[in-house]
Structure 1
Amino acid sequence: MEGKPGITFNQLAKVAEHFGRGVLFFLESEPVQPERIHTPAFRTLANQKPELSIKVKSLIERVEKQRTVYLALRDELENPDLTEFSPPDLPQNAPQAAADIARVWLGLNDVNDFETYRSAVEAQGILVFRSNGYNGKWQIAKESPILGFTLYAEDCPVIVIKKQQSEARQSFTLMHELGHLLLHRISSIDDENDMHSRLGYEREANEFAGLMLVPDTFLQKIDDTARPRHVDQYDDWLKGCRRDWGVSTEVILRRLLDSGRLSQQQYAAYRRWHAGLQVPQLDGGSRAYRSREPIHIFGDTFVRAVLGALSRRRITLSKASNYLDGLKINDLHQLEKHYAGL
């Protein structure tokens, strides 16, 4: 500054907003202490991916604040339906056994999709957020390589999934992040490369996800003699399995590869073919059901906690709106009616 004209208050406010801070943060005279600003989970993710954008870092902080809100509401409501996280003890170096135990713990059936997987995970005391498709504070940008992250906590972990074109891919990301929670008990942030890694914790999380989504009993339903000669027909060959299990063709092929029923050449050929497909990019879509967007973003568990606190007058309409992505009062009432079945 040195006696020269400084930036205006409005300019400072914009700088603060860019970094997810209030203006007063930049007016503090004391040195910044990182350990007071960021949680251990945040620092873990930042160390794993030092190149994280400001938007992703701000999203992580925002998720942590929502988790704090949820815990306060859960303690206030004393609702037995809001389950506390109590993970099973999974055997190490025994991926099939670990996945079998986890599937029983989640109570999974033979037919699933992303929403049933999400509901099963939430029922075990884990919050599952999904970024929305609109440019805003709850979006992971389409161009970002980040597909999901996990904030580990003993009382209530959070899994965040990037909204993708295919819900089957979201299912794999969800189970990959669940693997980090149950097997490694750590916070983790993952991109496209991590979802195909053959090293360390990422390899274990990928193997766990594959076994969770396609256990050996599922593989027995696939007829190898019916496998087409050309990889561009694999999607049709596995269409019924993909629909029932809520997974992508690639996940099934990877399981067949690991089981010795598919060659590396066939698997690689399919991936090359699929990578060359031109997938149409969808726009943000219609916001005709704006009142239900908080369910898609924060999940049923979080939304029910907020509405429960509102109905018992533990929080105001203004706070409920703030917790639910700035939902307008009229939309908030529509959301209440949706849960009331009206």
Structure 2
Amino acid sequence: MKKVEIYPLALMMKSPFKTAHGTTLKRPLTLVAITLMNGITGYGEIQSFADNQYAPETHLQSLSVVKRLSEKLLSRYFDTPFAVATWLANQADQSFAKAAIEMAFWDAYGKQIQQPLWTMLGGQQHRIAVSSVVGMQTNWQQTSHLVSNMNQQGYQRIKIKIDQQTDIPAIRQLVAEFPDQMFSLDANASWSMTDIERLKALDRAGLALIEQPFQANDWTEHKFAQQQLTQLQLSLDESLNSLADAKYAIANQTTRALTIKQGKLGGIASARQAIMSATQAQLNPWIGGMLGSGLGRAVDLALASLPGANQVPADSAQFDHYFAADIGKNLPYVQQGTLPLPAENGIGVSIDWPTVTKYLVHEPIVYQ
């Protein structure tokens, strides 16, 4: 390894993004650049959040681990990104930190062997069905208006963020107004088993799935609730913070669906393994979003190209949906509810350095 560069950023949201965990105005996203001895540079990003409301690992914790591992990387050589993933697994427990480094290696390796990420992973689709998310609004009329706009834009699924105060009859009515639109809900661990009747009320409403109704450690509760539902799939998200968590969910058939986020599982290799294992177990793995940049969303698209991973359209809205500016250049627009896989080698996203410079919150940290 020749050099590791770390660029701590904070991207500005176009509008506040509210979930049951809180409201995001600025998105910390640290860019990691790894340069091989042959001069090829690959890019990854730290996708953890500022606090631990959503996941146990905070952005500052991730950054600290990436700094520590960067010093060790300078004296090492790896044949493939899978070798990198194996090494990282023995170096740290922090999933987001490991994922950022591994992402950069996948990018550099793809550029070196001249292959796009999705072909290296074994992907089989050229265009990926995608969705968009409606954060929690101040009133239901705003939610309905945003849903109507997204429906007109052709998104193949619309996800609505909810909490315990959400009006269940209003959800049923909204879904009924758009009979050809796929809908899902995301409770972000804000419900409890006392809400089981509310889940049953949604069972035949025509929803594709509902993410993480209960707390992250409520494995038994999720399994029991799933068994009470005839049509509605439950999907774990907050519960999955490592590959070991995903393996446990698959082995125990906790829910019918799994929200796969490579940052939370420790990297691309772990996410790929979880997708393959879940598909083999006849579960429904699909690609969730992390409010990532165009770089991170390109990785999500590559994972969604794997067999069985795009039955539920991926959480990968158009690049200009969330941020005032993105660190990726020449990113594609959504057409007919799909995004194309990058044709370029590696992850396939070029970095917009003026935007990186604009949103730096600290001078770049360099190891060489």
TM bracket (short chain)? under 0.3
More strand by share: 2
* TM-score (normalizing by structure 2): 0.25
More helix by share: 1
Which is higher, the Rg of structure 1 or of structure 2?
Answer: 1
Query: Highest relative contact order (Cα 8 Å, sep 6+), 1 or 2?
Result: 2
